[in-house]
Amino acid sequence: MTSTKESIPIQLEPFLLSRKNFYQFLYTLFLEPNNEELLFELSQVGDFEELKECHEGGRILAGFFEQMKMKKNFGSEREEFRRLYLGAAMLLEDFLNFDLITLLEVREALKIV
């Protein structure tokens, strides 16, 4: 079953658009780290009214994007992502490797295992 724009209930469109914008920001933040201009543009788009009404996470995201509107550099956010998510993925065989820096290096390391 595929969904098209016509099959999505009208009340879900703002919610799905907010979610799409958030995931686009994350993708750019962590997989295209040198594109600061695009990151800044995406951080300005964040309209999370629908998400704020539905879930506590939406309120947290709205606050995050309000802070992002003041930033031009996103290095600390990348480091936090690496600490939280990539660190957990670095259990390789019988040891932990916290020296891998980028997602690409993590992927390469996991291919070896």
Three state DSSP letters for 27-51: HHHHHCCCCHHHHHHHHHHCCCHHH
* Residues 42 and 56 reside in one and the same domain: yes
* Residues 61 and 85 reside in one and the same domain: no
pLDDT at position 93: 46
Average pLDDT over residues 17-43: 73
* Residues 64 and 81 reside in one and the same domain: no
* Residues 84 and 107 reside in one and the same domain: yes
* Residues 86 and 104 reside in one and the same domain: yes
User: pTM of this prediction?
Assistant: 0.44
Kindly indicate the confidence band of residue 94, based on its pLDDT and cuts at 50, 70 and 90.
Answer: very low
What percent of the chain lies above the pLDDT cut of 90?
A: 0
* Residues 86 and 68 reside in one and the same domain: no
* Residues 27 and 60 reside in one and the same domain: yes
